[in-house]
């Protein structure tokens, strides 16, 4: 499969890891991304897909004090986003607001609404509740899970509750259940843990080593997709955490990120360190059937779940985001700072 | 005279009355032709002259008006003639009647005179009849007495005759016994039975007793005759008594109200018992068979000796059944049941044998024995349709046999494979994996061939049972192979631990030893899959095509046939999967190693590098393990360079090195940006090296893939960290050392080289102060390390470097 020719490219100056869909922007398909450069001045780019869908326009360029390890856009206010940054020696996380009149200003400065500065360990990510307005915010560092109450108007964030992940569990990331604002999944070295935010207690766990990324299915509750270093992608039904419902091959090297399409059922994107982005069609609709038959031979019996492999990347792809406005469009970001926006429309008709 | 007077009378009352008379007369005497119609034909209303409404006046007027004189005259003449005729007719009639009347009167006169004497005659007759009657009555009464007497006498005589018969009965019975004419005796006895019943208690007591005694002796004799049958059941109906006689005896016994049923039941019991004995005997045969099976010289030896005993006993059984049938003709259903039991037990026995491993000759022998028995029984008891019945049972048994053969084959293979797990622990064998591979290869091929041979024997046998099942057998064999390979594939996956990888994962983290063995096993399985796909299946399908292709009973529509293409594909996929799994398992171990290495230290506060870090040693050790496994199992690949579209690979690599050096020299932070640009530019000009190529079944390919994946992981780990200068230098040193050792033995050198460069680039990018070590220092440290490792284990670098 050849890929990439249809993609629209956009170059960042430096290396970058993270890209996020600006969900609250209902008028345009836009993404926000930030660079990862240890020794240079880092930038946050607000990118908009032109109305024709043929080019990517830089809508805003803001300097950011440190290299950005994680970035996510606020799902209810297009001007707000969160970053996790590092100075090389220490980590920090903050909520930023894009200044209102940035079009007129020469060198617009980002306005820091709040600093999530209760962390002592290495911060991994900041999560917004993906389904809408919610005044809570979640930040995850190596050892702890923080629940913040964010007040945008007062520009303040307060720690509401905090829980340690427990000894020897180094958290690496997480995903907030879009169907339940009290449920969150965190990944750590040997398992995926599930938390109830009301009590801040672990409710469940999937014992599985080396999970790199996890993502909830936006359409169906109880479905979680995980990406693992060596063993590809697994789809789990959280009611049956013993074994995965479905297994996808993943990538030649590590599978770094997975994300479920917000609109189309079972459409999954994965990005890997083998410089490819793969588009999968997982038949989650037939989940019961899939569980009853063995997971060892799904490839022989069914149509190839791999719809396409986009391989026109020069380096490992770490950033991946579906557009929620136009759910057939996704943006990918490879380490060399190249944003590529692709449309999966040609593959949807195959369903 | 009278006539004339009459005539005169007639003439007077005019025409009217005369005509009517004449009509009546003419209708009486001339019903068919009268003169009047002839006469009237000349006139239009000639009918009216005869009708009651005839108006003479009107007639006259009409006549006068219509006719002229001549006609009138003629009419007149006619009429006159007519009248004259009528008159004569009338006269004649009157005369005749008168004559008759006269004669009648005469007759009456005569009769009157004759009838007078009759009465007296009649009375006389009556008297005579009366007297005859009285006389006959008298005779009757006088004879009656005598007649009655005669009748009584006759009856008495009959009675006396019967009594005589009964008195004679014992003697007669005795005579019959003497002459063994039991049938007659029984007939007599049964004849006398009613009398005995009626008078046995009084007058004929003695007689009855005597004859009963006689009958008892008869009974005894008969029973003896019959019981001879079952007394000698040990010998199973010896021929001392003819079957016919015995059958008769049974019938007679039945007639004598003897409880034959119980006798029959007893006999049946005996038969069943003998069947049990038969089973016992076959069991013994079993034992003999098994014993003779053990020293693997089965065949003729046991087939003949205990076989004969078995045959004899079955023969006896068949004879018994035949006799039994003749004796008790209405006992078929029981016998059928019995015979079917025999067959079923036979097959049960065989099935049990099938459960253990038996050779096809044994199986054939067993089948043949059964079939012989069945044929024998069929001859005796054709109603049982034993051949059909046994065919049905054999259907299941042969199917089971086929299935179990495949199961054993599968078990053999998995056993051979599992030996890999055990052997390295106990014996320090040089190439345990290789041995296992060869062994399992041999088992797969040889085992399948043996299985085919077995089935060939089944097919080629001329046994009726098998001939009928031939089509089925072909189907089963094909289906069996199909299923066998499918389950073999499953088995491989299970052994490789892919099937329940979640639980296996925990196993990995817990027991490293088990995993090490398992990794090798996965490789063995992968190679075995290739072997099956490329060698075993073509041969097997060839064999199947040669001898098992002819007409399946169920045809192809069920899909129960051996499709070699499908299986080949299955194993090809399976092999690839297993190979990837092997690589995966191996890289995962390295990955764990690397993760520990990179997440543990605080890289920002790293101290100056003094020596190569030990993780490189561990990494190389892993590679060495891979190397030894791969060398045992996989073929040596064609030594070819990594494929690239342009040929000047060396310049490329030197370019990247130059770039690197260039980069290293620029420690200045301000230039980093242009540096990145340069990297991009360099990448643009450089051919994109395909890092992840397709894995082949060769030592080099697998090793290279593992190395590449590991180095790529290394790069990714480096990218996640932030280093200080010393940390960066440490990485630089480690990579440098790794490069020198890897360079010698990796096929796709350039790709690995490129990746190692990338690691250093990544480290420098993630370094706060990227100042590299001076090359002399680097070399010196590497030399120290090399010397140290040589001293420690002089073979190792050579071994890794081949």
Q: Who has greater pLDDT, A336 or A299?
A: A336
Q: Is the pLDDT of residue B220 over 80?
A: no
Angle separating helix axes B56-66 and B69-114, nearest 10 degrees: 150
Rounded CA-CA distance B586/B590 in Å is 7
| Nearest-by-CA chain B residue for A243 | B502
What pLDDT score does B459 carry?
76
Q: Who has greater pLDDT, A291 or B550?
A: B550
CB A204 within 8 A of CB A215: no
DSSP of B691-725: -SPPP-SSHHHHHHHHHHHHHHHHHHHHHT--B-H
Q: Is the Cα dihedral B390, B396, B398, B404 positive or negative?
A: negative
Return the SS3 of A204.
strand
Nearest residue, CB atoms, B672 vs list A40, A209, A252: A40
Tokens 């005659």 belong to B121
Residue B202 in tokens:
């009084």
| Nearest-by-CA chain B residue for A16 | B719
Compute, in degrees rounded to 10, the torsion defined by CA atoms B288, B293, B296, B297: 40
pLDDT digits (tens, 9 = 90+) for B175-213: 877 777 777 777 777 777 777 777 766 666 777 777 777
Reported residue count of chain B is 802
pLDDT digits (tens, 9 = 90+) for B447-472: 888 888 877 777 777 777 777 777 77
Nearest residue, CB atoms, A296 vs list B498, B505, B680: B498
pLDDT digits (tens, 9 = 90+) for B276-335: 666 555 555 555 444 444 433 333 333 334 445 566 666 777 777 776 666 666 666 777
Residues of B with CB under 8 A from a CB of A: 490, 493, 498-502, 505-506, 508-509, 570, 573, 584, 587-588, 591, 599, 604, 669, 672-673, 676, 679-680, 683, 688, 691-692, 709, 712-713, 716, 719, 722, 765-768
Q: Is the Cα dihedral B92, B97, B102, B103 positive or negative?
A: positive
Mean pLDDT of B616-634: 82
Judge residue A27's burial from the number of C-beta atoms within 10 Å of its C-beta, 0-12 exposed, 13-18 middle, 19 or more buried.
exposed
Q: Is the pLDDT of residue A89 over 50?
A: yes
- The ipTM value here is 0.87
What pLDDT score does A52 carry?
81
- Name the CATH code of domain B259-384 (choices 1.10.132, 3.30.70, 1.10.1060, 1.10.1660): 1.10.132
Report the run of H or E that residue A111 belongs to, with start and end: strand A111-115
Rounded CA-CA distance B578/B583 in Å is 9
Q: Is the pLDDT of residue B640 over 60?
A: no
Residue B48 in tokens:
């009216």
Contact B716 A38 (CB under 8 A): no
Mean pLDDT of B770-797: 75
The residues facing A248 across adjacent strands are: A233
Rounded CA-CA distance B248/B241 in Å is 12
Q: By the CB < 8 Å criterion, does A86 face chain B?
A: yes
What pLDDT score does B153 carry?
92
Mean pLDDT of B52-61: 78
pLDDT band at B7 (very low <50, low <70, confident <90, very high): very low
Mean pLDDT across chain A: 83
Q: Is the pLDDT of residue B575 over 80?
A: yes
Q: Is the pLDDT of residue B689 over 80?
A: no
Angle, alpha carbons B330-B331-B333 (nearest 5°) = 115
Q: Who has greater pLDDT, B338 or B41?
A: B338
Q: Where in chain B are the domains? A: 2-110, 259-384, 403-578, 656-696+698-802
What pLDDT score does B159 carry?
85
Instruction: Please report residues of A whose CB lies closer than 8 A to that of B766.
Output: 38
Rg (CA), chain B: 66
Judge residue B678's burial from the number of C-beta atoms within 10 Å of its C-beta, 0-12 exposed, 13-18 middle, 19 or more buried.
middle
Mean pLDDT of B52-60: 77
Rounded CA-CA distance B731/B743 in Å is 18
- State how far Cα B97 lies from the chain centre: 110
CA distances from B76 to B58, B63, B267, B415 (A): 16, 11, 129, 154
What is the phi/psi pair of residue B651, to 5°? -65, -35
pLDDT band at B85 (very low <50, low <70, confident <90, very high): very high
Mean pLDDT of A325-335: 90
Mean pLDDT of B392-415: 80
Nearest residue, CB atoms, A209 vs list B509, B669, B719: B509
pLDDT band at B130 (very low <50, low <70, confident <90, very high): very high
Q: Who has greater pLDDT, B287 or A227?
A: A227
CA distances from B161 to B38, B169, B206, B282, B302 (A): 101, 12, 18, 64, 73
CB A214 within 8 A of CB A224: yes
Q: Is the pLDDT of residue B61 over 80?
A: yes
Rounded CA-CA distance A245/A287 in Å is 7
Distance from CA of B522 to the nearest CA of A (A): 15
- When scoring B680, B681, B710, B721 by the number of chain A Cβ atoms within 10 A, the one with the most, hence best to mutate, is B680
Reported residue count of chain A is 351
Rounded CA-CA distance B708/B746 in Å is 10
Rounded CA-CA distance A200/A40 in Å is 39
Instruction: Please report residues of A whose CB lies closer than 8 A to that of B570.
Output: 300
Instruction: Please report residues of B whose CB lies closer than 8 A to that of A39.
Output: 669, 672, 768
Contact B673 A15 (CB under 8 A): no
Instruction: Please report residues of B whose CB lies closer than 8 A to that of A86.
Output: 722
Q: In chain A, what are the domains?
A: 8-345 (2.130.10.10)
CB B413 within 8 A of CB B491: yes
pLDDT band at A71 (very low <50, low <70, confident <90, very high): very high
The residues facing B48 across adjacent strands are: none
Mean pLDDT of B666-673: 42
Contacts of B549 (CB under 8 A, 6+ apart): B474
Size of interface A-B (CB pairs under 8 A): 78
Distance from CA of A49 to the nearest CA of B (A): 25
pLDDT band at A110 (very low <50, low <70, confident <90, very high): confident
CB B772 within 8 A of CB B728: yes
Q: Is the pLDDT of residue B51 over 60?
A: yes
Mean pLDDT of B725-754: 80
What pLDDT score does B117 carry?
74
Closest residue by Cα to residue B540 from B459, B480, B489: B480
- When scoring A88, A92, A122, A123 by the number of chain B Cβ atoms within 10 A, the one with the most, hence best to mutate, is A88
Q: Is the Cα dihedral B171, B172, B176, B178 positive or negative?
A: positive
Residue B778 in tokens:
């680097």
What pLDDT score does B103 carry?
93
Residue A312 in tokens:
């026109």
Contact A38 B722 (CB under 8 A): yes
Mean pLDDT of A146-170: 82
pLDDT band at A23 (very low <50, low <70, confident <90, very high): confident
Closest residue by Cα to residue B421 from B489, B507, B357, B500: B507
What pLDDT score does B690 carry?
62
pLDDT digits (tens, 9 = 90+) for B90-101: 999 999 999 999
CB B440 within 8 A of CB B488: no
Closest residue by Cα to residue A228 from A283, A191, A278, A275: A191
What is the phi/psi pair of residue B744, to 5°? -75, -25
Rounded CA-CA distance B721/B679 in Å is 20
Which DSSP state fits B535? I
B455-464: long-range contacts at Cβ-Cβ below 8 A with a sequence spacing of 24 or more?
A: B455/B360, B455/B402, B455/B405, B455/B548, B456/B547, B457/B360, B457/B361, B457/B364, B458/B360, B458/B363, B458/B364, B458/B398, B459/B547, B459/B548, B461/B364, B461/B367, B461/B368, B463/B364, B463/B367, B463/B368, B463/B371, B464/B371, B464/B375, B464/B387
Contacts of B411 (CB under 8 A, 6+ apart): none
CA distances from A3 to A281, A313, A342, B5 (A): 17, 10, 10, 158
CB A148 within 8 A of CB A164: no
Q: Is B95 left (phi over 0), alpha (psi -120 to 50) or beta?
A: alpha
CB B246 within 8 A of CB B229: yes
Q: Is the pLDDT of residue B631 over 70?
A: yes
Mean pLDDT across chain B: 71
Contacts of A208 (CB under 8 A, 6+ apart): A190, A191, A192, A226, A228, A234, B502, B505
Q: Who has greater pLDDT, B378 or A245?
A: A245
CA distances from B482 to B329, B414, B486, B491, B571 (A): 52, 17, 6, 14, 12
CB A313 within 8 A of CB A16: no
pLDDT digits (tens, 9 = 90+) for A168-202: 678 888 899 888 888 899 988 888 889 888 888 88
Rounded CA-CA distance B189/B173 in Å is 8
What pLDDT score does A300 carry?
43
Give the highest mean pLDDT range of B215-229, B418-432, B486-500, B615-629.
Answer: B615-629
Rounded CA-CA distance A56/A30 in Å is 9
CA distances from B554 to A340, B471, B561, B766 (A): 57, 8, 10, 69
What pLDDT score does B277 carry?
65
pLDDT digits (tens, 9 = 90+) for B348-398: 777 777 777 667 777 777 777 777 777 777 777 766 677 777 777 777 888
CB A140 within 8 A of CB A186: yes
Q: Who has greater pLDDT, A304 or B8?
A: A304
What pLDDT score does B102 carry?
93
- When scoring B493, B677, B722 by the number of chain A Cβ atoms within 10 A, the one with the most, hence best to mutate, is B722
Tokens 């460069």 belong to B757
What pLDDT score does B201 carry?
67
pLDDT digits (tens, 9 = 90+) for B592-613: 888 888 888 888 888 888 888 8
Distance from CA of A77 to the nearest CA of B (A): 31
CB A294 within 8 A of CB A302: no
For chain A, first and last CA: distance in Å?
18
DSSP of B266-319: HHHHHHHHHHHHHHHHHHHHHHHHHHHHTTT--SHHHHHHHHHHHHHHHHHHHH
């Amino acid at each position: 499969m050849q890929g990439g020719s249809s993609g629209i490219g956009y170059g960042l100056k430096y290396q970058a890891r993270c890209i996020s869909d600006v969900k609250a922007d209902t008028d345009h398909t836009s993404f926000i991304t930030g660079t990862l450069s240890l020794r240079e001045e880092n930038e946050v780019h607000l990118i908009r897909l032109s109305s024709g869908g043929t080019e990517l326009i830089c809508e805003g360029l803001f300097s950011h004090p440190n290299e950005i390890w994680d970035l996510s856009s606020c799902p209810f206010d297009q001007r707000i986003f969160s970053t996790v940054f590092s100075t090389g020696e220490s980590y920090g996380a903050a909520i930023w607001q894009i200044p209102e009149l940035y079009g007129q200003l020469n060198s617009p400065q980002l306005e820091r609404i709040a600093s999530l500065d209760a962390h002592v360990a290495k911060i991994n990510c900041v999560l917004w509740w993906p389904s809408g307005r919610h005044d809570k915010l979640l930040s995850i560092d190596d050892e702890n899970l923080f629940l913040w109450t964010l007040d945008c108007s007062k520009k303040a964030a307060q720690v509401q509750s905090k829980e340690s992940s427990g000894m020897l569990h180094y958290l690496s990331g997480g995903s907030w259940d879009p169907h339940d604002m009290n449920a969150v999944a965190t990944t750590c070295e040997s398992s995926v843990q599930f938390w109830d935010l009301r009590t801040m207690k672990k409710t469940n766990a999937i014992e599985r080593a080396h999970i790199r990324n996890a993502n909830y299915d936006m359409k169906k509750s109880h479905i979680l997709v995980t990406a693992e270093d060596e063993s590809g992608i697994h789809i789990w039904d959280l009611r049956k955490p013993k074994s995965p419902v479905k297994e996808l091959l993943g990538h030649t090297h590590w599978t770094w990120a997975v994300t479920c399409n917000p609109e189309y059922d079972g459409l999954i994107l994965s990005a890997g360190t083998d410089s490819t982005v793969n588009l999968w069609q997982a038949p989650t609709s037939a989940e019961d059937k899939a569980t009853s038959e063995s997971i060892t031979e799904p490839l022989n019996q069914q149509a190839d779940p791999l719809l396409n492999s986009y391989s026109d990347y020069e380096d490992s792809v770490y950033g991946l985001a579906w557009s929620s406005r136009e759910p057939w469009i996704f943006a990918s970001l490879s380490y060399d700072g190249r944003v590529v926006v692709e449309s999966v429309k040609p593959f949807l008709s195959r369903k | 005279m009278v006539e004339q007077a009459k005539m005169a009378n007639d003439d007077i009352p005019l025409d009217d009355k005369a005509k009517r008379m004449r009509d009546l007369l003419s209708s009486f005497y001339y019903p068919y032709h009268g003169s009047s119609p002839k006469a009237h034909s000349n006139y239009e209303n000639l009918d009216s002259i005869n009708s009651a409404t005839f108006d003479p006046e009107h007639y006259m007027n009409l006549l006068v008006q219509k006719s002229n004189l001549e006609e009138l005259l003629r009419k007149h003449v006619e009429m006159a003639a007519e009248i004259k005729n009528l008159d004569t007719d009338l006269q004649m009639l009157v005369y005749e009647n008168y004559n008759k009347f006269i004669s009648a009167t005469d007759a009456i006169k005569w009769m009157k005179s004759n009838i007078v004497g009759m009465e007296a005659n009649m009375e006389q007759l009556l008297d005579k009849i009366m007297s005859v009657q009285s006389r006959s009555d008298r005779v009757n009464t006088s004879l009656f007495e005598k007649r009655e007497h005669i009748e009584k006498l006759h009856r008495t005589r009959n009675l006396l005759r019967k009594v005589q018969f009964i008195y004679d009965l014992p003697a007669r019975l005795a005579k019959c016994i003497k002459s063994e004419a039991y049938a007659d005796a029984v007939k007599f006895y049964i004849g006398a039975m009613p009398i005995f019943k009626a008078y046995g208690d009084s007058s004929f007591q003695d007689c009855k007793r005597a004859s009963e005694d006689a009958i008892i002796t008869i009974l005894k004799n008969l029973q003896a005759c019959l019981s001879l049958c079952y007394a000698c059941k040990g010998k199973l109906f010896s021929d001392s008594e003819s079957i016919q006689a015995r059958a008769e005896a049974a019938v007679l016994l039945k007639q004598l109200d003897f409880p034959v049923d119980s006798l029959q039941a007893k006999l049946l019991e005996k038969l069943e018992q003998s069947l049990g004995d038969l089973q016992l005997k076959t069991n013994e045969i079993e034992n003999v068979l098994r014993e003779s099976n053990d020293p693997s010289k089965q065949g003729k030896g046991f087939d003949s000796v205990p076989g004969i005993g078995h045959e004899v006993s079955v023969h006896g059984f068949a004879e018994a059944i035949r006799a039994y049938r003749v004796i008790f003709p209405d006992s078929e259903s029981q016998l059928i049941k019995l015979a079917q039991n025999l067959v079923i037990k036979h097959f049960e026995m065989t099935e049990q044998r099938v459960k253990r491993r038996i050779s096809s000759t044994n199986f054939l022998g067993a089948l043949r024995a059964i079939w012989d028995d069945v044929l024998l029984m069929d001859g005796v008891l054709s109603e049982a349709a034993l051949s059909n019945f046994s065919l049905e049972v054999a259907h299941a048994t042969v199917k089971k046999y086929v299935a179990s053969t495949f199961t054993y084959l599968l078990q053999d293979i998995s056993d051979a494979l599992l030996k890999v797990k055990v052997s390295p622990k106990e014996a320090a064998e040089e190439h345990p994996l290789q041995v296992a591979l060869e062994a399992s290869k041999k088992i797969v091929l040889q085992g399948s061939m043996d299985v085919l041979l077995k089935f060939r024997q089944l097919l080629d046998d001329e046994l009726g049972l098998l001939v009928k099942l031939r089509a089925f057998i072909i189907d089963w064999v094909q289906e069996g192979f199909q299923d066998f390979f499918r389950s073999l594939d499953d088995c491989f996956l299970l052994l490789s631990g892919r099937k329940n990888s979640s639980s296996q994962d925990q196993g990995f983290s817990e027991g490293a030893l088990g995993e090490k063995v398992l990794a090798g096993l996965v490789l063995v399985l992968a190679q075995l899959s290739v072997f099956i796909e490329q060698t075993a299946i073509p041969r097997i399908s060839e064999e199947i095509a040669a001898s098992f292709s002819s007409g399946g009973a169920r045809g192809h529509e069920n899909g129960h046939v051996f499709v070699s293409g499908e299986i080949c594909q299955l194993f090809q996929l399976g092999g690839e999967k297993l190979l990837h799994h092997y690589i995966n398992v191996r890289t995962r171990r390295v990955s764990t190693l690397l993760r520990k290495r990179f997440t543990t230290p605080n890289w920002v506060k790293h101290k100056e590098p003094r020596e190569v870090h030990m993780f490189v040693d561990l990494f190389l050790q892993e590679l060495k393990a891979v190397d030894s496994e791969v060398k045992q199992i996989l073929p040596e690949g064609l030594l070819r360079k990594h494929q690239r579209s342009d040929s000047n690979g060396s310049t490329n690599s030197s370019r990247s090195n130059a770039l690197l050096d260039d980069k290293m020299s620029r420690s200045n932070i301000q230039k980093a940006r242009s540096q990145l640009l340069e990297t991009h530019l360099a990448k643009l000009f450089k051919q994109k090296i395909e890092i992840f190529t397709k894995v082949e079944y060769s030592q080099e390919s697998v090793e290279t893939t593992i190395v590449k994946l590991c180095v790529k992981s290394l790069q990714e780990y480096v990218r996640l960290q932030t280093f200080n200068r010393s940390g960066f230098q440490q990485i630089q040193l480690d990579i440098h050392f790794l490069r020198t050792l890897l360079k010698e033995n990796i096929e796709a050198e350039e790709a690995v080289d490129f990746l190692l460069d990338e690691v250093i680039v990544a480290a420098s990018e993630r370094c706060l102060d990227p100042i590299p070590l001076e090359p002399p220092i680097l070399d010196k440290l590497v030399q120290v390390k090399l010397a140290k490792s040589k001293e420690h284990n002089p073979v190792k670098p050579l071994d890794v470097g081949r």
